[in-house]
Structure 1
Amino acid sequence: MTNAMNNLDVATGRGRVDIGGAVKQSREAMGYSVEDLSLTCGLTGAEITRIELGTDVDPDRLRRIAAALQVSTSTFHLV
């Protein structure tokens, strides 16, 4: 699996997946604003925004977001 740090697309056998887009889609599916998610997972709004825009791929932050949104880490293609 290869991370393209400029847009956080992950190369997989099934094509390319936008991690930031998956985070945003999961957040919106829960009805959370960035601020709601920030309060729930303990990250700043700026950190969440950077992840959704594809400028941050920190696995620990993504795990915290997955836990807050009650989704599997595999939603964001983490192990």
Structure 2
Amino acid sequence: MKNYFKGLCLAYGIKYTNCNPLDHLVSRCTEFISQKLDSDLSKTILKQTGSNFKKYNMIRNKKYYAHDIMIF
């Protein structure tokens, strides 16, 4: 997904760095696309998508059992 959103950023001239997390790339794309939409519902859906990616990323990085877990 990160490569997909990097590709969108490149295609539309949206600035980003390689160290930006996925949710940041989604947010940048959302800001760009939102400027071209008239529908408030579409804007809300796009913003929620970025929020969902951020939540999944937190789970993947901190709650995934492949990482060391301290149970004390």
TM-score, normalising length from structure 1?
Answer: 0.31
Q: If each structure's helix is expressed as a fraction of its own residues, which one has the higher value? A: 2
Greater RCO, CA 8 A, separation 6+: 1
Q: If each structure's strand is expressed as a fraction of its own residues, which one has the higher value? A: 1
From the CA coordinates, give the structure whose radius of gyration is larger: 2
